């Protein structure tokens, strides 16, 4: 019974969790296409990216359910059968690698929109592509010998490398975003509030995916003869897909909190522009190091204050 608890039991728990999170993915996708994508007039490319990520998430869910069905029904009573991975495992693993690369690429694109130089994004993308290359290699190894015993030998090193690189990329993306957003600070509290909100969200999304990847590495090292590593590995796809959708769907909340018009770029790292009324003078944060003094208006009437309203405006795609 102990063997079943740490093998089939672990996989079953993983299936329940990823199924719930897949429902969250679908709910967020529906909200994006019916609300956020329309309200913020997102580009076709962004909508295609979201559609592809959700489709891969769905494939991951179907394949996860299939190999669980294989273990629980087709191979019922066959303890030795639990050591052989069904073909659907590959359909479970491939989407994880592709979703990871797509979402990390999206976050790197945000950095490029802020930084406007190609070198830094390329340096971040290199380990991301290396991670995907190692992932594809591991799938080739599994395809030739689909035995779970490999997770205690050959594949342990690969799992550590893949998820270690993934964790490093996520942490670097979060740190770079925080730094770049910090350089855009101005003397306008409303603009700074938006930047702070984006920075907090960047840290949160990076931390969630990084923690999940660390759990994969930890279980691979500490519990090599169990399937807990597959349980946490299956969660990676959900973490990345939901982090992408949450990034897009939270834009309206930040707009309401900032009390100013906020478009697509607010959470995408595009040009952030602060406008001062009533003279309509404007500046872009990309072009300055420090915020200028707010413009003032002379008041011909004594004792009447003239309010200068500032709003944060972000241009989209």
Q: Which of 240, 204, 244 is nearest to 48 (CA)?
A: 244
Q: What is the mean pLDDT of residues 110-137?
A: 90
Q: Is the peptide bond before 278 cis (omega within 30 degrees of 0)?
A: yes
**Both tokens assigned to 9:** 């039991």
pLDDT at position 315, please? Answer: 40
pLDDT of residue 150: 65
pLDDT of 159 reads 81
Output the pLDDT for position 305. 39
Enumerate long-range contacts of 63-68, CB under 8 Å, 24 or more apart.
Answer: 63/88, 63/89, 63/90, 63/91, 63/92, 63/95, 64/14, 64/15, 64/18, 64/88, 64/92, 64/234, 65/15, 65/19, 66/91, 67/92, 68/11, 68/12, 68/15
pLDDT score of 230 more than 70:
yes
Q: What is the pLDDT of residue 154?
A: 66
Which position has the token pair 């003032």? 296
Query: Is the predicted pLDDT of residue 76 greater than 60, yes or no?
Result: yes
Q: What is the pLDDT of residue 262?
A: 43
Dist. CA 116–CA 109, nearest whole Å: 10
Q: How far apart are CA 14 and CA 20, in angstroms?
A: 10
Place 95 in a pLDDT band, splitting at 50, 70 and 90.
very high
- Averaged pLDDT, 20-24: 94
Name the more confident of 5 and 132: 132
E strand or H helix that includes residue 137? helix 119-144
Q: Which residues contact 161 (CB under 8 A, 6 or more apart)?
A: 134
Q: What is the pLDDT of residues 155-198, one digit of tens each?
A: 777 888 888 999 999 999 999 988 888 887 777 777 777 778 78
Question: Rounded to an integer, what distance in angstroms lies between the CA atom of residue 269 and that of residue 315?
Answer: 10
Decide if pLDDT at 106 tops 50. yes
pLDDT of residue 152 exceeding 70, the answer is no
pLDDT band at 245 (very low <50, low <70, confident <90, very high): very high
- Which tokens in the block code for residue 222? 């500490």
Specify the pTM: 0.78
CA distance 281 to 192: 19
Taking only the tens place, the pLDDT of each residue in 36-73 is: 767 778 889 999 999 999 999 999 999 999 988 988 88
Identify the sign of the CA torsion 153, 159, 161, 164. negative
Cβ-contact 219, 169 below 8 angstroms: no
Average pLDDT of 140-160? 74
Report the pLDDT averaged over residues 246-256: 81
What pLDDT is recorded for position 153?
64
CA angle, residues 198, 202, 204, in degrees to nearest 5: 115
Is the pLDDT confidence value at 25 over 60?
yes
Q: Quick: pLDDT tens for 288-297.
A: 334 444 444 4
Answer whether residue 222 shows pLDDT above 80.
yes
Q: Would you say 105 and 128 are in contact if contact means Cβ atoms under 8 Å apart?
A: yes
């Amino acid at each position: 019974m102990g063997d079943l608890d740490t093998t089939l039991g672990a996989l079953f728990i993983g299936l329940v969790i990823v199924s719930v999170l897949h429902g969250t993915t679908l709910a967020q996708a529906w909200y994006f296409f019916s609300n956020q994508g329309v309200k913020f007039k997102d580009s076709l490319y962004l909508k295609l990216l979201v559609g592809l990520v959700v489709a891969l998430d769905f494939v991951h869910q179907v394949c996860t359910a299939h190999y669980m069905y294989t273990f629980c029904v087709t191979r019922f009573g066959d303890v030795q059968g639990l050591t052989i991975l069904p073909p659907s495992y590959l359909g479970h693993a491939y989407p994880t690698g592709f979703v990871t690369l797509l979402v990390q690429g999206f976050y790197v694109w945000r950095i490029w929109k802020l930084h406007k130089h190609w070198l830094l994004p390329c340096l971040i993308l290199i380990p991301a592509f290396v991670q995907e290359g190692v992932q594809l290699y591991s799938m080739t190894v599994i395809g030739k010998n689909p035995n779970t015993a490999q997770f205690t030998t050959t594949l342990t090193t690969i799992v550590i490398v893949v998820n270690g690189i993934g964790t490093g990329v996520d942490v670097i993306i979060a740190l770079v975003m925080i730094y770049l957003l910090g350089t855009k600070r101005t003397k306008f509290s409303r603009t700074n509030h938006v930047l702070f909100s984006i920075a907090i969200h960047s840290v949160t999304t990076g931390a969630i995916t990084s923690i999940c990847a660390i759990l994969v590495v930890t279980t691979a090292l500490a519990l090599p003869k169990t399937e807990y590593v597959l349980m946490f590995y299956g969660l990676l796809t959900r973490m990345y897909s939901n982090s992408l959708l949450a990034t897009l769907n939270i834009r309206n909340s930040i707009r309401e909190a900032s009390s100013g018009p906020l478009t697509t770029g607010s959470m995408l790292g595009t040009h952030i522009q602060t406008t001062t009324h009533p003279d309509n003078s404007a500046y872009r944060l990309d072009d300055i190091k420090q915020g200028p003094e707010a413009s003032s208006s002379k008041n011909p009437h004594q004792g009447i204050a003239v309010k200068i309203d500032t709003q944060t405006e972000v241009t989209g795609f």
